[in-house]
Structure 1
């Protein structure tokens, strides 16, 4: 590889490691997803947990998204303070967080909360009655056995619905997330999972309605299923998150190409172990995260795919290992004994992540690289 600088000059002035957003790719990803949702005739509610960043979420809303999904009450409070009021807190509600949810609703936030159990539903109804608040609650449906939720055919579904409806809460609908779609990698399998997700959630909604309970919203979604669904009959909205940046796991799943990945970590070569074929960079797992999501896929990229500073993939080179602040860059297969000459100390590289959500979470801010080469700093937030 010739050491030719093809990068925007602004990248050369950044301290490393740094999380870089290619805003051209990001906007392309946003437009692609929104166009697909429009074509399928459903509302789109992006998941803000991927970026936890107001400029990113504003770009999604400007493209046509209506409302957002969050994974923490802190996210809900942050985005509400920034003017977004239609928010789904998409994690099962526990009693200890109800006062925070109440405070947000009392300030005018149209916050929806989620339950998937009788105990949680009883706590929500009791707390709401005590404080004169009719929480809007969605029931989480398990459509793939991947994580949480009530199966569409369980008796508990109707019981939870009645507890909420008769206890003074507002039964807003049902929601599901087919997380097992991340384990697939063919169009046929992804389309089948998207249909399983749709059918399961629609069935749950029908059961509630047949029991005389309201169910206005039917919300499904994951990035792979959103991009693979052939139709969404009976669905009112879709949620997806990682599509805004994409990552190597999504590339391996087959729903994006490598040049769709909009998030990378800018790193500097700081040393070598030539006899091992290693170059050492200043981006270890504290920068990339410990997520090894590609390890169980057909193409394992270690801790990330190595690219030149201009974003061009350097074929065959990955971050094969990581310590806290040190990343090990190596060639796949046979060691590159000329690696020190190929990547001299001081060389800037960009590493594409396995999991954009996890890698983004390692940084307090993104460096947003525009088409004209200018860089803006976009803050993101941490914690719960």
Structure 2
């Protein structure tokens, strides 16, 4: 397989990716929850269409730039899970919302007002989710009374319609066991449900309760009160979930093929994949910058831009110049954004090049 690509190469096993798509779709169906996958993990029209074909009810984008690319490709139900701040963003939202159904989020009066002004220009209300802090301390109103008071402040804005609550409990990736992950997933769902119920009791209809990362969505049947999940990383998986024991190597679709280019000393080697290929993201439960499939005990202990530094026991591992290695990245979501295209394989054979259409669309 590796002889057919020039390294370093980001590849995807299409059979694994499609199996992951089907598996998540089935979990959502069994739980009676809609799945609106986050396309920031792949940024590709090809994979977005695969997810929609499997039953997704729309897609989630991180930024307007991604949404614009997906809309041009004919995808017509898009959630932008990021605040719309700035006149330039308002204009782009106006243009986008004339073409497709767009839902967005807000956690400030300024953000909600910006979306409302766009809705007024359009002559219709734009669906809006209120973002609730899921515990990560990023964006979002505080659960409960703070969210209720915020909803009351913005519900009279003429260009928006509050249609849901949204949260992201990113702290789940720091949990140390399956039971802790399950507990955090349930807590995220309970927090959202309780807040949604509070708003409903106050006469504010909340038809959509949107939560669920790739980890918490593995417990979709236990997310009481959640009506929509937004898993993203699940399509590829990576060392993050592998090191937590939530998946196996055979569930990891995205990989990097790299070549040993130097063996400067016993127990040390250099590969041609550095930070521009693998990223410098680290994971709390694994060492180094990726998992080498052929030799899991080797540590990628350092990255320069184009060089990866390997450390290993020369008594048990022998590497030679020109040898190919397969790396599962620490954080798969970052890699597609570093590539114009990735190579799709089936049965160890390259079958197509997949364009990363929204690469660099980060605004």
* TM-score bin, normalised by smaller chain: over 0.9
Alpha-carbon distance between aligned partners in 2 of 1:287 and 1:205, rounded to the nearest angstrom:
42
Describe the SS at the equivalent of 1:59: helix
Counterpart position of 2:305 = 324
Counterpart position of 1:149 = 140
Alpha-carbon distance between aligned partners in 2 of 1:286 and 1:266, rounded to the nearest angstrom:
14
| Structure 2 contact 33–227 (Cα < 8 Å) conserved | yes
Corresponding position: 1:306 with 2:306: no
How far off its partner does 1:146 sit? 3.6
| Structure 2 contact 132–147 (Cα < 8 Å) conserved | no
Describe the SS at the equivalent of 2:40: coil
TM superposition score normalised by structure 1: 0.88
* 1:292-371 correspondence to structure 2 within 5 Å: 292=282, 294=283, 296-297=284-285, 299-300=286-287, 302-307=288-293, 313-331=294-312, 335-336=313-314, 342-371=318-347
Describe the SS at the equivalent of 1:315: coil
Corresponding position: 1:37 with 2:13: no
Q: CA RMSD in A?
A: 1.9
| Structure 2 contact 147–195 (Cα < 8 Å) conserved | no
Unaligned regions of 5+ residues in structure 1, if any?
A: 1-7, 308-312
| Structure 1 contact 23–262 (Cα < 8 Å) conserved | yes
Corresponding position: 1:382 with 2:360: yes
Alpha-carbon distance between aligned partners in 2 of 1:168 and 1:81, rounded to the nearest angstrom:
24
How far off its partner does 1:198 sit? 0.7
| Structure 1 contact 183–253 (Cα < 8 Å) conserved | no
TM superposition score normalised by structure 2: 0.93
Counterpart position of 1:248 = 239
Alpha-carbon distance between aligned partners in 2 of 1:14 and 1:239, rounded to the nearest angstrom:
33
| Structure 2 contact 27–220 (Cα < 8 Å) conserved | no
Alpha-carbon distance between aligned partners in 2 of 1:225 and 1:320, rounded to the nearest angstrom:
30
How far off its partner does 1:124 sit? 2.5
Alpha-carbon distance between aligned partners in 1 of 2:98 and 2:349, rounded to the nearest angstrom:
43
Q: Is 143-152 or 172-181 further displaced after alignment?
A: 143-152
Describe the SS at the equivalent of 1:49: helix
Alpha-carbon distance between aligned partners in 1 of 2:164 and 2:37, rounded to the nearest angstrom:
17
Q: 1:366 to 1:234 in 2, by over 3 A?
A: same
Unaligned regions of 5+ residues in structure 2, if any?
A: none
Describe the SS at the equivalent of 1:320: strand
How far off its partner does 1:383 sit? 2.8
Describe the SS at the equivalent of 2:330: coil
Describe the SS at the equivalent of 1:157: helix
Counterpart position of 1:279 = 269
Alpha-carbon distance between aligned partners in 2 of 1:127 and 1:69, rounded to the nearest angstrom:
20
Q: 1:361 to 1:20 in 2, by over 3 A?
A: same
Work out which of the residue numbers 117, 125, 128 in structure 1 matches 2:119. Answer: 128
Counterpart position of 1:93 = 84
Corresponding position: 1:18 with 2:29: no
Corresponding position: 1:186 with 2:180: no
